[in-house]
Amino acid sequence: MTKKKGGKTAAVINIGSNRVRMLVSQLKKGEVSPVDLLEHPIALGHEVFSTGKVSFETLRELSSILRGFSNVLKEYNVDSYCAVATTALREAQNKAFVLDQLKLQNNLTVKILEDNQEKALIFSDIFESLRSTDAFQQGNSLVTHIGTGTIGFSLYDGVRVTFSQNIPLGVLKLYDKLGGLQDETESFYTVAAEYVDLIIQHISTAFPQNSFPVKNLVLTGNEIRAIAALCGVKEENETFLLSSKQVKALFKELRALSAEKISLKLGITEESAKLLYSSLAIYVQLIRFTKAETIIAPKSDLCSTLVRSMLLPKSQEDFHSQVRINALSCARSIAAGYKCNLAHSDQVGRFACRIFDKMKKAHGLDLQGRLILELAAILHDCGYYVNSKEHLSSTFNLIQNMDIYGITDEEMSYVAYAVRCSSYEPYHSEDYDENLYELSDETQLLVSKITAMFRLADALDKSQKQKLSDIRVKLDEHRLIITAESNENTLLEKWAFQHCASFFTDVFGIAPELLIKPLSLKVH
């Protein structure tokens, strides 16, 4: 095998919970075409989910698989490649050791994707294709990816995601968690159904207002092709449309059987039978929850999405744009749930972005830093819902544990620290120092920059009455001049601005100045 004639080639290796995959693709006339797909089974998930670690034997097996993949990469002479890992390695207690050994033994740098990153990549194409699907109804869609180790839920209103949540329970985990009950009861399926139903009910309580009814049930996962085949459904336009009656009938047929009997009945491996059973149990509960008559199951593939972003930079730009839109939408839904003043949040976010954009040369942050600033503006008052006396601490704890579409845990911690350190009142200064200085130097610098810009923006609407309809920002050597117009009493805004200006100067070496002029009256 040699590199095919044509454009640039790229490959993605995905280390999953029960298999390792490698997709090689090539760019031809602006289109990405698959060249080769390799798969190798591995019991990584079973081991990590039961013991918490990757054993030496499994590590050697994984290294051997990757060595074979590397040889194929050399034969194809690919231009670029990357390797990612999902739930199993993400949850392994010794993941740092495993990654180090793969680097030493295979000269391979593996990036572990967080839940939100993985689901955002998987969903990135689905939202675009949904409205062209015949079965799609206008309204809210529950889009769910059922993985081996996790399940990702997103509510999609036809334009953007309004809610996103991941739970550590996939098809493999469900069977491993409850599988031992099969030896004790013939009603294992009832236990599984009740367990899944309990989780779904807990998740649904966090749905934003106006989420119901859910018009569409969209499911993705590795078992969908097998379930569709058993239901006699063929793929059309890279999508399976399954009748809920068909899926429930299939589950009814299999639910009282052991994995061994299912494997014999369907002619599949016992491992595949376990995953199929768990998938059907989850499918049926989601059908009951949404009351959907049809399941829309579009084709989704993590490797395909990643390799396309490598070969088509424009697709990567579109992905990041989609993540930003959906992340801000989810944050607004959460803020609304905590009774935040959304008009104030929008005002602060808009002013913060004006300051950020004008300060590009001074702060050196990328667009992800801008998004962190926007999220801080939206979520900074959530803690008042819990405790108005210690609202900064409450907000910090809430944000640390939020699921926001496409945003990593580390990035959410930046948001949390920026908000936690946002108070400029003297009696909060010690808390600020204590929280800031426990971070690394690099993180301290990032949080300080975000906090300094956020403080200025928040001060400009300190009364939360939007007295300043707009601002103009000018960077003049060592001064940041912010000009606004208003005929209202803005003493509170001026006081707040003055109190946070010194910290901004400490961070950037630039002195902010606020000029508020009387609003000129138009003569008709």
Residue 148, CB half-sphere, CA atoms under 13 Å: how many?
Answer: 27
pLDDT at 186: 54
CA 159 to CA 269: how far, in whole Å? 41
CA 303 to CA 341: how far, in whole Å? 41
What phi and psi, each to the nearest 5 degrees, are found at residue 32? -95, 120
State the amino acid at position 504 in one-letter form: F
Question: Alpha carbon 433 to chain centroid distance?
Answer: 30
Longest pairwise C-alpha distance within the chain = 86
- Which residue segments constitute the domains of the chain, with CATH numbers given? 9-113 (3.30.420.40), 118-305 (3.30.420.150), 312-465 (1.10.3210.10)
Both tokens assigned to 263: 């494997």
Contact 208, 133 (CB under 8 A): no
Contact 471, 497 (CB under 8 A): no
pLDDT at 310: 94
Residue 494, CB half-sphere, CA atoms under 13 Å: how many?
Answer: 12
CA 479 to CA 475: how far, in whole Å? 6
Both tokens assigned to 456: 């200025």
CA 222 to CA 241: how far, in whole Å? 16
Residue 223, classed as helix, strand or coil, is coil
Q: Tell me the torsion sign for CA atoms 222, 224, 229, 233.
A: negative
* 264 Cβ neighbours under 8 A, 6+ residues apart: none
* 331 Cβ neighbours under 8 A, 6+ residues apart: 375, 378, 379, 404
CA 304 to CA 24: how far, in whole Å? 9
CA 211 to CA 190: how far, in whole Å? 28
pLDDT at 426: 40
Ordered strands of the 479-485 beta sheet: 471-476, 479-485, 511-517
Strands 151-156 and 140-146, how do they pair? antiparallel
CA 290 to CA 283: how far, in whole Å? 11
Question: Alpha carbon 267 to chain centroid distance?
Answer: 37
Contact 503, 471 (CB under 8 A): no
pLDDT tens, per residue, the chain with 524 residues: 455 566 899 999 999 999 999 999 999 988 999 999 999 999 999 899 989 999 999 999 999 999 999 999 999 999 999 999 999 999 999 999 999 999 999 999 999 999 999 999 999 888 888 878 888 888 899 999 999 889 999 999 999 999 999 988 888 888 777 766 655 545 677 787 888 888 888 888 888 888 888 999 999 998 999 999 999 999 988 899 999 999 999 999 998 888 888 999 999 988 888 889 889 989 999 999 999 999 999 988 899 999 999 999 889 899 999 999 999 999 999 999 999 999 999 999 999 999 999 999 999 999 999 999 999 999 999 999 998 888 888 999 999 999 999 999 999 999 999 998 876 544 344 344 466 667 788 999 999 999 999 999 999 999 999 999 899 999 998 999 999 999 999 999 999 999 999 999 999 999 999 999 998 755 55
168: preceding bond cis by omega (within 30 degrees): no
State the amino acid at position 297 in one-letter form: A
Of residues 367, 374, 361, 356, the one with CA closest to residue 471: 356
Q: Please count the residues of the chain.
A: 524
**HEC string for 103-120:** HHHHCCCEEECCHHHHHH
pLDDT at 181: 65
pTM of the model: 0.91
Torsion of CA 330, 336, 341, 347, to 10 degrees: 20
pLDDT at 427: 37
Q: Tell me the torsion sign for CA atoms 27, 33, 35, 38.
A: positive
pLDDT at 174: 83
pLDDT at 136: 87
CA 484 to CA 497: how far, in whole Å? 13
What phi and psi, each to the nearest 5 degrees, are found at residue 22? -135, 125
Q: In angstroms, what is the C-alpha Rg of the chain?
A: 26
Of residues 38, 66, 126, 42, the one with CA closest to residue 303: 38
pLDDT at 330: 97
